[in-house]
Each structure stands twice: as C-alpha cells, then as structure tokens.
Amino acid sequence: MASLTAAVLASNNEEIIARCLQSVAWADELLVILDTRSTDRTAEISEGLGARVHRSRFENFAQQRNVGFAETRTEWLFYIDSDEEATPALAQEILHVVAHGQETGWWVPRRNFLWGKETRHGGWYPDYQMRLYRVDCARYDVDYPVHEMVQLQGEAGHLQQPLIHHNYASLGQFITKQHQYVELEAQRRFQAGIRPHVWTRFSQPLREFWRHYVRLQGFRDGWHGLKLCALVAYYYGYAVTARLSQLWRAHEAAG
C-alpha cells in the first residue's frame, strides 16, 4: 500500500498550526519544515500532535519546499500550507488516487476565504495548486521563488475536493504578505536581467485590474471583490515594477 507524508512549511504559526495538522492526521507521517528564525511554540505544538519537525532557514518558498522532498521518507508527499485545512472528503480522494491512480502529480482546488469572506471570482476559485506528488517525480524550480513552479516527471491529474484556505485574516495581514511577495518577485526579475519599461508601471496595473475584475468576474464579489482586485492590480501591476526599477537604479549607481 502506498505511503504518504503530509508536510507543512511553518514560521511563527502557533495560532493556526494545530488546525492544519489535525486536518491531515490521516497521513502516514506529518512533517513540519520550520524556519530556523521561528521563535514561538510552533515546534512544540507540532511535535505534540505527532509531527516530525525539521528546521531549515527560509530562503524562498521553492527552496524550502525542496527541503521537504529531501526529508520525506514515504512514496508520496502532500503539501498543505499552515493556513489551510484538508476536509475529510479531500482526504478520502487523496487516499484513493494514491492507491489507484496512474498520475505522478495532482492539482488540488482551493476555496479561498479572504478577511473571513469566501471569494469565488476574480481568479480565486478553483485556484488549482499542484500539491500531491510521487516524491521521486517532482521538485520545485528555484528560479521561481514566490509562486512556485513544480517540475513534474509524468502526467498530472485534477482532484475534485478542495482545500479550505483561510487566506489573510485581515487587510493588514494581506498588505504585509504582499510586500514580501513584491520583494521576492522583484529580486527574481532583477537577477534574471529583466528591465522594466517606463510605461509598464502604469499600464500593467490597468491590465491586472481588467483581468481580475472584468474577465475573471471579480465584480461578482461586490465591494469585497472591487477592493481585492484593486489591491492585486497595485501590488502585482505597479509595486513589483517600481521595486524592480529601484534595484536597477541602485545597481547602475554602484557602477
């Protein structure tokens, strides 16, 4: 019978880690990849729930997830984030495909709850994530440190049952996280030699807003959708380009 590890990336997640781990208690092994700079009770709580804790300094998401692959001792790996939970229906589907499926990787849909409200438009659902893999057939591409890309050997399938994603409890948490993503993405583009065009800083936010609010029907989520689409347009359209411009100016000034 195929064996499976459920793994979580964590850092100062003492308030939510128990909910996450309890939702995957059916896995053969629980693994927490903990940032060495974490200072709260995440490790203690995780170990109390039967998880094996491996400490690794966080550099980027792709690197940290690859640590999880290296630490996994089972045939299959299921990645779940600390702010997510797996429903019993998803657990049953995972166990079925692991035992009977031919695919080496599986996309999992997510139901996203932002600021306590389920968000189903603007690109937030079904929000498929590649999270279930045969360990010997997948690794993350370190050239994409933020929104990670999986390099998979073999075919991938799509699960039907979703993860529950408690995505940003407050607007402040959302903004803090976006600043982190902006920095990582700008650094990636800079290291890849990508230079921003002058007009991109202004045209890209408009394109992002149109895509999320109109094409992906973010307007169907009302005021909540409007606010969210505007924020996404700002951070992914304007802020990344502005930060990239700063990096290039500093580089050129340094000679």
pLDDT for 102: 93
Angstrom distance (rounded) from CA 8 to CA 118 = 23
Task: Identify the pLDDT of residue 198.
Answer: 81
**How far is Cα 213 from Cα 15, in angstroms, rounded to an integer?**
33
For the chain of 255 residues, list the mean pLDDT of each consecutive stretch of 10. 94 97 98 97 98 95 95 98 98 97 96 94 96 97 78 97 93 90 91 89 92 97 96 92 94 86
205 preceded by a cis bond (ω within 30 of 0): no
Domain boundaries, the chain: 4-166, 171-253
Q: Which residue(s) pair with 152 in the sheet?
A: 138
The reported pLDDT for the residue numbered 146 is: 66
For tokens 């690197």, the residue is 63
Query: Chain-centre distance of CA 14, in angstroms?
Result: 19
Element (H, E) at 39: none
Residues 6+ apart with CB under 8 A from 173: none
d(CA 27, CA 171): 33
d(CA 54, CA 32): 6
**Distance in angstroms (rounded) separating the CA atoms of residues 163 and 89:** 10
Q: What is the DSSP letter of 52?
A: E
Q: What pLDDT does residue 219 have?
A: 97
Q: Which helix H or strand E contains 241, and what residues bound it?
A: helix 240-253
Q: Which CATH number fits domain 4-166: 3.90.550.10, 3.30.930.10, 1.10.40.60, 3.40.50.970?
A: 3.90.550.10
Tell me whether strands 105-108 and 156-158 are parallel, antiparallel or unpaired: parallel
**Judging by DSSP bridges, how do beta strands 84-86 and 150-152 pair with one another?**
unpaired
CB 232, CB 182: distance < 8 Å: no
DSSP state letter for 218 = G
Other C-beta atoms closer than 10 Å to the C-beta of 226 total 15
Q: d(Cα 110, Cα 128) in Å, to the nearest integer?
A: 6
Q: What DSSP line would sit under 141-200, residue for residue?
A: -TT--SS--EEESS-EEE-SSPEEEE--SSHHHHHHHHHHHHHHHHHHHHHTT----TTH
Euclidean distance between CA atoms 8 and 57, whole angstroms: 14
